[in-house]
Amino acid sequence: MSTIRLGDEAPNFTAQTTEGEINFHKWLGDHWGILFSHPADYTPVCTTELGTVAKYKVEFDKRNVKVVALSVDGLESHKGWVKDINETQNTAVNFPIIADEDRNVATLYDMIHPNADNKLTVRSVFVIGSDKKVKLTITYPASTGRNFDELLRVIDSLQLTAYHKVATPANWNNGDDCVIVPAVSNEEIPNLFPKGHTEVKPYLRLTPQPNLN
């Protein structure tokens, strides 16, 4: 069983999906990605989750993020379930769902936790950068649906901090002030952060979000 840690390369795989066969790395291309698993088709919490992701596609597109779901059910089951999702959630599923009946991908990404269920996948989330490196992992129990607003918030932070020498403080949202990382000296601040900064403590320096006009 794999143990995937932050900074590891996301394992590549080829799989059948509701939108045809994909090679994961080629499918991602230069996009960021979210790979998330759900325990089974025709289950209530998963139905609401996949409907929510479909409605959020425009937000993921803005962030150059591709989304792909997975369960250990088969392709025909997925296709039938998509009709239910579209009907009950008033949407149209617009991303691929991996059919992982042989559990190859679930095993590769350690999505089956025997103490929770020895057959079905837990609610795993992997956020993957355009460099194919794992940037975030979250695991939920089957009983708890995911908060996709939080995933958007995290992606905003990950993309901001990947390209600017800042970190995001507690409860940060897009547009809030950021923390200047300790590696940046006070002498470097004017060039790196022309909007100015506030020094709360020598180790706690705040600056307006640098990638906003």
| Angle at which helices 44-55 and 75-89 cross, to 10° | 70
The better pLDDT of the pair 122, 164 is held by: 164
pTM, 2 dp: 0.90
Instruction: Give per-residue pLDDT as tens, 75-92.
Output: 999 999 999 999 999 999
Q: Find the mean pLDDT for residues 192-201.
A: 95
C-alpha 54/C-alpha 73 separation (Å) is 20
pLDDT (0 to 100) of residue 93 = 95
Tell me: pLDDT of 23 over 70.
yes
Q: Find the mean pLDDT for residues 109-115.
A: 70
**Residue of 28, 46, 69, 179 marked active site:** 46
Percent of the chain with pLDDT over 90: 78
Question: What is the number of other CB atoms lying within 10 angstroms of the CB of residue 16?
Answer: 17
C-alpha 166/C-alpha 182 separation (Å) is 9
Three-state secondary structure along the chain?
CCCCCCCCECCCCEEEECCEEEEHHHHHCCCEEEEEECCCCCCHHHHHHHHHHHHCHHHHHHCCEEEEEEECCCHHHHHHHHHHHHHHHCCCCCCCEEECCCCHHHHHCCCCCCCCCCCCCCEEEEEECCCCEEEEEEEECCCCCCCHHHHHHHHHHHHHHHHCCEECCCCCCCCCCEEECCCCCHHHHHHHCCCCCEEEECCEEEECCCCCC
Active site residue 178: no
pLDDT (0 to 100) of residue 50 = 95
Q: Determine contact, residues 163/211, Cβ cutoff 8 Å.
A: yes
